[in-house]
């Protein structure tokens, strides 16, 4: 009955879009499954080593070029957007300095893990499509979990355009949204691609603390703070540590300065999953966490990805940048950690604080 009522509203594409919006997705668009024209540039980017230690990007590059290796006989891709803009009450200004020894967490991570929050709606949409078209068609869903070029597919479907910071920008969601995809053997009518609308703006390039955006549309992940604090599992290069500032999980600076954010709006699916306690966590309290406390504090959030060793590594760097002498006892304790990664960065932080203290005394 659901499918029959839906089909009365128009085409299969109209019906799928209607169901997606009713399930809480903010946008739903369609594109074909052929190789994105940007794939050669992506392959060159990987060959240049700019993906850093994210070896899965190299392993999966062939599949990104041919989606039929992911889903045989795939014909179309349904692209979906989910806003994580928190509304005016949850926005912080770029460059805003926290009071005391506080850390900054990327906006997307101030929620329960979006994979867990959005999966039920994604599964439900696939089930609904299956009920409409019958068992002869196959579908496969992803939410940044599979070997597909989702940003390029999003632009080709008209969901948004890839900005000079290499993230997708929507004209009515700004920069603050997640992407999801459904690969399908259905032959759906493609929507018109979105054209790039950055114009002459270069705010994102100038905002990057580590100059990771080498030129428009070219990011060196090895310098990106999101990579350094999340994806990188070893030591953070010393020459980049001071630029990390108080950021302990990700970085939003290039996104935050984008003028398209004036159109951002709060979505439905992520609203109830907000974790406002993660906006400005206390660095010294984080440094005291043992394994059990870490899991209790961050279970079910994106911050679990860094593991305790990675998060405390980041906390030490942040304290080295914004901490004062009051942080020294906790850092001295962290320096004796059996985990070498934490101990190394704790020593660096101690050296930075003492250097600042000595400098201020000599003035």
From the number of C-beta atoms within 10 Å of its C-beta (0-12, 13-18, 19+), residue 305 rates as middle
Contact of 306 with 227, CB cutoff 8 Å: no
Confidence at residue 359, expressed as pLDDT on a 0 to 100 scale: 74
Residue 8 confidence (pLDDT): 59
Q: How far apart are CA 232 and CA 214, in angstroms?
A: 19
With cut-offs at 50, 70 and 90, classify the pLDDT of residue 98: very low
For 212-236, what is the mean pLDDT?
98
Q: What average pLDDT score do residues 280-303 get? A: 97
Query: What does the alpha-carbon distance between residue 115 and residue 311 come to, in Å, rounded to a whole number?
Result: 20
167: nearest Cα among 127, 119, 224, 125 = 224
14, 47, 144, 187: the active-site residue: 144
Task: Count CB neighbours of 183 within 10 A.
Answer: 23
Please say whether the beta carbons of 15 and 132 come within 8 A. yes
Per-residue pLDDT for 66 more than 70? yes
Quickly state the pLDDT bin for 90 (edges 50, 70, 90). Answer: very low
Whether 144 is a known active-site residue: answer yes
Q: pLDDT tens digits, residue range 301-338? A: 999 999 999 999 999 999 999 999 999 999 999 999 99
Residues 240-269, mean pLDDT to the nearest whole number: 97
Residue of higher predicted confidence among 297 and 100? 297
Q: Are 156 and 36 in contact (CB under 8 A)?
A: yes
- For 6-18, how does the pLDDT look when each residue is reduced to its tens digit (9 = 90+)? 655 589 999 999 9
CA atoms within 13 A on the CB side of 43: 11
Q: Could you read off the pLDDT of 351-361 as tens digits, one per residue?
A: 999 999 887 66
């Amino acid at each position: 009955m659901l499918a029959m009522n839906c089909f009365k509203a128009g085409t299969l594409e109209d019906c799928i879009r209607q169901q997606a919006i009713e399930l809480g997705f903010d946008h739903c668009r369609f594109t074909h499954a052929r190789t994105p024209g940007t794939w050669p540039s992506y392959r060159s980017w990987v060959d240049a080593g700019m993906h850093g230690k994210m070896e899965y990007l190299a392993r999966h590059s062939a599949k990104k070029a041919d989606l039929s290796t992911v889903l045989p006989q795939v014909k179309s891709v349904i692209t979906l957007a989910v806003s994580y803009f928190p509304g005016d009450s949850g926005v912080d200004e770029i460059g805003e300095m926290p009071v005391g020894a506080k850390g900054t967490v990327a906006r997307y991570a101030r929620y329960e893990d979006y994979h867990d929050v959005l999966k039920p709606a994604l599964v439900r949409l696939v089930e609904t499509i299956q009920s409409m078209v019958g068992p002869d068609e196959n579908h496969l869903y992803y939410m940044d979990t599979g070997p597909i070029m989702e940003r390029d597919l999003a632009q080709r479907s008209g969901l948004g355009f890839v900005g000079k910071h290499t993230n997708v920008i929507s004209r009515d969601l700004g920069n603050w949204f997640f992407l999801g995809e459904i690969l399908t053997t259905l032959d759906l009518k493609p929507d018109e691609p979105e054209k790039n609308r950055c114009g002459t703006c270069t705010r994102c390039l100038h905002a990057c603390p580590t100059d990771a955006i080498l030129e428009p549309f070219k990011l060196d992940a090895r310098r990106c703070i999101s990579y350094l604090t999340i994806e990188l599992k070893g030591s953070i290069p010393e020459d980049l540590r001071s630029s990390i500032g108080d950021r302990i999980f990700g970085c939003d600076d290039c996104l935050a300065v984008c003028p398209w954010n004036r159109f951002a709006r709060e979505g439905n699916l992520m609203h109830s999953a907000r974790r406002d306690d993660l906006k400005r966590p206390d660095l010294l309290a984080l440094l005291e966490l043992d394994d059990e406390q870490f899991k209790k504090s961050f279970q079910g959030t994106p911050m679990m990805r860094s593991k305790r060793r990675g998060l405390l590594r980041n906390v030490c760097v942040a304290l080295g940048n914004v901490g004062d002498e009051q942080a020294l006892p906790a850092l001295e304790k962290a320096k004796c950690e059996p985990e070498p990664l934490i101990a190394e960065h704790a020593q660096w932080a101690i050296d930075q604080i003492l250097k600042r203290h000595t400098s201020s005394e000599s003035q």
